[in-house]
């Protein structure tokens, strides 16, 4: 569905308000999710998303290449999230991200509980990463942006993104090992790549 966003951007740049509504519907869920993962605060994530779409509407004519809309928009959203979360400095538990579905099968419920517990440990470790590593991990693993898209969003080289991912994986592994064993031993790379 994102394939037609360039056409929508061109229409929006010409003043078509219906195109903005379509762009909003196309990117709202991913925008809120990204903002929430960056801030751990639902209300703040909604404010960030609203501000990002306002800026999008006001500055869309500055976008030279409509094909670059996605990275242009998420670059703006990421910057707004960093700025607004620095002002807030609020941490809210992330348990709502990992809600369990209702299952009749007891084994499935137990498996889901273990997966939820692991997801919460991983998210807790991600939240302790340095800001740029955290953002890179969230964009790559949780929102499935490519390395080149992340480089555009964060305003850095692809090699920098790869380096941040590598360092973040090492830091996550160490953090999870300390959580698990108290010594930094025993967590495999498989757990990290499930992020």
How much is the pLDDT for 87?
78
Give the residue-averaged pLDDT of 121-145: 90
Exposure string over 152-161, b if 16+ CB within 10 A, otherwise e? bbbeeeeebb
Identify the CA nearest to 9 among candidates 180, 132, 20, 1: 20
Judge contact between 103 and 109, C-beta under 8 A: yes
User: From CA 17, how far away is CA 3, in angstroms rounded?
Assistant: 19
Query: What does the pLDDT look like over 27-77, one tens digit per residue?
Result: 999 999 999 988 888 899 999 999 999 999 999 999 999 999 999 999 999
**What residue ranges define each of the domains in the chain, with the CATH number in brackets?**
2-88 (1.10.1740.10), 101-193 (1.10.10.10)
Query: What does the pLDDT look like over 70-120, one tens digit per residue?
Result: 999 999 999 999 899 887 764 444 444 334 334 344 455 455 555 666 778
Judge contact between 5 and 19, C-beta under 8 A: no
How much is the pLDDT for 64?
93
Q: Which tokens hold the place of 161? A: 């993104």
Q: What percent of the chain has pLDDT over 70?
A: 76
How much is the pLDDT for 114?
56
């Amino acid at each position: 569905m994102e394939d037609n966003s360039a056409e929508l951007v061109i229409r929006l740049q010409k003043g078509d308000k219906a195109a903005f509504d379509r762009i909003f519907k196309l990117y709202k869920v991913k925008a809120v999710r990204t903002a929430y993962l960056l801030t751990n605060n639902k209300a703040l994530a909604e404010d960030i998303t609203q501000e990002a779409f306002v800026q999008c509407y006001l500055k869309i004519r500055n976008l030279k290449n409509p094909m670059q809309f996605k990275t242009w928009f998420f670059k703006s959203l990421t910057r707004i999230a960093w700025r607004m979360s620095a002002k807030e400095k609020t941490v809210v538990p992330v348990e709502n991200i990992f809600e369990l579905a209702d299952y009749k099968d007891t084994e499935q419920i137990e498996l889901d509980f273990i997966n939820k517990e692991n997801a919460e440990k991983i998210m807790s470790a991600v939240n302790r990463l340095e800001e740029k590593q955290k953002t890179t991990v969230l964009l790559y693993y949780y929102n499935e942006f490519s390395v080149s898209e992340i480089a555009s969003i964060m305003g850095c080289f692809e090699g920098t993104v790869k380096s941040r991912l590598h360092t973040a994986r090492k830091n996550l592994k160490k953090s999870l090992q300390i959580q698990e064993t108290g010594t930094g031993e025993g967590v495999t790379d498989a757990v990290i790549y499930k992020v």
